A and B are shown apart, each in its own frame.
Chain A
Amino acid sequence: MPLGYVAPVLHAHLPFVRHPEYPEFLEEDWFYEAITETYLPLLDMMEGLVRDAVPFRLTMSLTPPLCAMMRDPLLQDRYVHGLEKLIELAGKELDRTKHDPVFHDLARFYHDRLHHCRTMFCDRYHRDLVGAFRKFQDAGVLEIITCGATHGFLPLMREFPQAVRAQIQVARNDYRNCFGRDPRGIWLPECAYYPGLENYLQESEIRWFILDAHGLLYAEPRPAYGVFAPVFTPAGPAAFGRDIESSKQVWSAEEGYPGDGDYRDFYRDCGFDLEYDYIRPYIQPNGLRKFTGLKYYRITGRTPHKEPYRPWVARERAAAHAANFMFNREKQIEHLRGVMGVEPIVLCPYDAELYGHWWYEGPMFLDFLFRKSAFDQRTFEMITPSEFLTRHDTHQISQPSASSWGNEGHWSVWLEGSNAWIYPHLHMATVRMIELAGKFKNANPHQLRDRALRQAARELLLAQSSDWAFIMKTGTMVPYAVKRTKDHLLRFHRLYDQILADRVEESFLGNCEWRNPIFLDLDWRVYA
């Protein structure tokens, strides 16, 4: 019997960014880069673990917007097109570097990896990443959880129960479409929780969610086991708390692994380094440079001077860091077991996209961690929260405290000078959507009006994405986030006016549907 459990959780999310109205759109690159650097490497890792019969457990959220993008034929086409271009560039790099063994090996490294990505995406998974992840869930090694329908920041819509319910229920229904079963866990957008939110989870039969540590530690009454056991909220769903120590070990700016000098440097990218005419076909159509993903240097140290990347050395570091992480979990769990007298669970949630995209060796670290944990120790077992609740179904009742995982732990990232202006508009659109749903829920079916109501709900949901407020706060690409918020709201209001006036303009409605085809079978009556 293990002394305790470790539950790694990856939150995979990107906002819905899809612009058919432009031949190329820079912000779509978020998605394409994440496929190449995060999603495919994670799938590759799981393929290897299953092939080698390594017992492992991983929990991942795949948010509805991310699933919608993964299943979108336009974005799939554009990804393959971009990948072909990158493969072409990697081929040229092989030529260009042929007399320099160090860089030639690196060029070969990328050339092979990109080819491998194409093989995985096109041949092995036939472009269906949702299906690829689903396969691992069906095999019992991966638990996929849901999220808010569009990653809406739920505490700031709490005055509108229908809006909170819509975020949860639309997400649940989308999960059913994607994964053929009901979700059992949810990643609350930004881990943002307020007391009472669990009632909506109960309605949707969602059994557990994750809080930042203080959300659980400051629960009422005080949880006896801190963050090392879940509590049952009064409505029934269980709340797990984030382990501070393991989070910090991976991500702390002071002592985190990803800053190791042997790891690949994120910023030194061929898109910025190479001679302009040579790189011109692979950057933005308007001639501005951009990241290509071909990065030849390692972090080296706190210096502008960077040394060439050495993949085999980085691999050794990832193995060492995995060993260090495992060792610390062993010691942590031995200690906690002694204090608690029951098996502790150490829950380690992270942004998925940071594994691979930002920390290039992150998937490799996870791979080593799973393998070492399976074969090199007996102190803990990897587990998913659902599996834990199946094995351990008796817990303390407590009401967690309002909290989020953002800076300072509450709402200040999403509610401050740069972004607070959005809430009166979001609330107004919510009020109007509730009004529409109430007015038409019992009306005779009317195809055009139903389409308009469904699209209005889509536009509202998309406007609610917490990503826009986050981008406004952090100050990069603010005009894009502002435009997205406004565009969705303006489309919503126009549809609202047309629906009430019984004059739905089909060309406008069709344009909205063409731009934002998410939640194809959305039931707008959820707002009634």
Chain B
Amino acid sequence: MPKPNSKTGKTAGKKSPAPKPIAKKPAVKGPAKKGPTRSKTTSSSPRLRSVPLPVDHSAHKFVLQPFNPATPVDHTPAFESLGELPESYGTRRLFLAARDPRWLYAYWDFTWQQLRDAEQEAHDGKLFLQIFVPGQERVHQIQIFPGSREWYLPVHRPATMFQAELGYYRRDGSFQQLALSGEVLTPRDDPSPNQEVEFVTIPFHYSFRQLLDLIQSQMKPGESLAKALARLQREGYPLPFAYALRRFVPAGVSDRILDYLGGDLVRRIRVGSLEITETLRRRLLEMGSSGIPSSLSSGPRGRDRSFAMHVNAELIIYGGTVPGAKVSVDGKEIALRPDGTFSYHFTFPDGRFHIPIHATAPDGEEKRSALLSFLRLTDTTPGVDPTRQPPLPEPLGRS
């Protein structure tokens, strides 16, 4: 049965067609790193492998085999190998990003030698990455080493401005800054308490350029287009299009909407592209236990299996005649290769089979025939399954 829809359940009364539920989604993973982590210098210079990586089908909406750089070609294409990227460029730049409401990410572009030189300038031989709230307190001080290039920093402070600096302490106790990042704002993690509602009419058939031209002379310094239009519309400024003079939102609407979304909001369901990979991953695990011969065979195999065996058989009939002749196998005419040879294959389950084969000369004057008979009997010990086969057609000539 479908999970009752938390919203439509409120108005249930009519029977809804029932979607069948599918399996449970694995728990959402937490942040990849648990705390300030020393960067691995190897991560900045990944290299191509000479052998395919294990396959994880869960990773992409298009599930294919691993890239095989050794695809056979007659020659290496021109300009195929252009060398390697440098470890760093030495621009002395410090970059800070708010990865989410709780984590910052910093990287710095210094060469090993540049950092080594700076280290020697420091009175205690140490370099530091510092995170602070501009104009306020420092929230992180991390010692870094000449080989490191990046750091993930937990801050757990949504909607807060942060800045990073890199440097060292001089003998007099002052901080010598080597680089300063831009300011970044961590995103909000809850609805804003500010419930002020300001409406504006922005007619779709006016371009932004036209609207800007229309009110340019009325705009205050730093005022945005929507804000300026809203102000002018509030003041009753004449504009060449109709606009809503007043618009009223009944009290409590915002809270009722949030209540309506409540469950989902709390659970933080983000049905993005990765949601799909969760589904794929689950399927993969199901398949891993079935022994499907696929590109999975080089990848994780799902859960362990006890010892087992499987066996099966197929039958290939092959032969040849002169080019241009006609050949039928059990009454069906089959295509010959240009040299007159042919082959035809069937699945071969238990049973007795008689398969007539006829060839007719290109001029239709002569015929040759053969009757091939086969018997398959299978006897197995427990724990032996038939090897998975293509959809099994009834074999020809079964008696």
Contact = CB atoms under 8 A, between A and B. Distances in A.
B275 A253 contact: yes
A475 B59 contact: yes
Interface in B371-399: 388-396
B311 interface: no
Interface in B194-221: 194-205, 207-209, 211
B390 A205 contact: no
Interface string B24-59: 110011011100000000011111110011011111
B364 interface: no
A361 B266 CA distance: 32
Contact of A327 (B16, B53, B289, B332): B16
Given A103-B393, A328-B5, A410-B101, A341 B250 contact: yes
Interface string B308-336: 00000010100000000000000010100
Nearest to A233: B226
A389 B200 CA distance: 12
Contact of B16 (A220, A274, A288, A324): A324
Given A156-B97, A286-B71, A478-B53, A222 B254 contact: yes
A236 B193 contact: no
Nearest to B14: A327
A220 B8 contact: no
A410 B67 contact: no
B238 interface: no
A272 B71 CA distance: 20
B68 A335 contact: no
Interface in B52-83: 52-53, 55-73, 77-80, 82-83
Interface stretch (A78-86, A118-126, A391-399): A391-399
B109 A424 contact: yes
Nearest to A256: B22
11 contacts: A245-B6, A249-B5, A253-B24, A259-B279, A303-B286, A327-B17, A475-B53, A476-B55, A480-B66, A482-B46, A486-B85
Contact of B32 (A412, A483, A487, A511): A412
B59 A476 contact: yes
A374 B371 CA distance: 62
Interface in A304-330: 304-305, 308, 320-321, 323-324, 327-328
Contacts of A47: none
A474 B390 contact: no
B381 to A, nearest CB: 21
Given A225-B257, A324-B16, A397-B198, A251 B48 contact: no
Interface string A14-48: 10000001111111011001100000000000000
Given A99-B393, A394-B247, A253 B279 contact: yes
B91 A431 contact: yes
Interface stretch (B130-138, B161-169, B184-192, B354-362): B184-192
B149 interface: yes
A357 interface: yes
Given A416-B32, A420-B150, A397 B200 contact: yes
A213 B52 CA distance: 39
Greatest chain A CB density within 10 A among B79, B227, B389 is at B79
Given A95-B334, A253-B23, 14 more contacts: A96-B345, A99-B396, A213-B265, A223-B254, A256-B279, A270-B390, A340-B257, A395-B202, A397-B227, A410-B99, A413-B274, A477-B59, A479-B69, A482-B48
A450 interface: no
Contact of B243 (A386, A394, A474): A394
A196 to B, nearest CB: 10
B44 A424 contact: yes
Given A218-B189, A255-B22, A408-B100, A471 B271 contact: no
Nearest to A285: B72
A358 B58 CA distance: 12
Greatest chain A CB density within 10 A among B10, B63, B78, B278 is at B63
Looking at chain B's contact residues, the main secondary structure is: loop
B338 interface: no
A138 B217 CA distance: 38
Interface in B139-190: 149-150, 182, 185, 187-190
A221 B391 contact: no
B11 interface: yes
B187 A289 contact: no
A224 B272 contact: no
Nearest to B283: A267
A401 B32 contact: no
A351 interface: yes
A386 B243 CA distance: 18
Interface in B233-284: 243-244, 247, 249-250, 253-254, 256-258, 260-261, 264-265, 268-279, 282-283
A411 B100 contact: yes
A202 interface: yes
Given A253-B275, A324-B18, A202 B77 contact: no
A212 B99 contact: no
Contact of A232 (B6, B182, B202, B247): B202
Contact of A402 (B25, B98, B190, B392): B98
B341 interface: no
Interface in A239-261: 244-245, 247-249, 251-261
A207 interface: yes
Given A245-B5, A290-B65, A490 B83 contact: yes
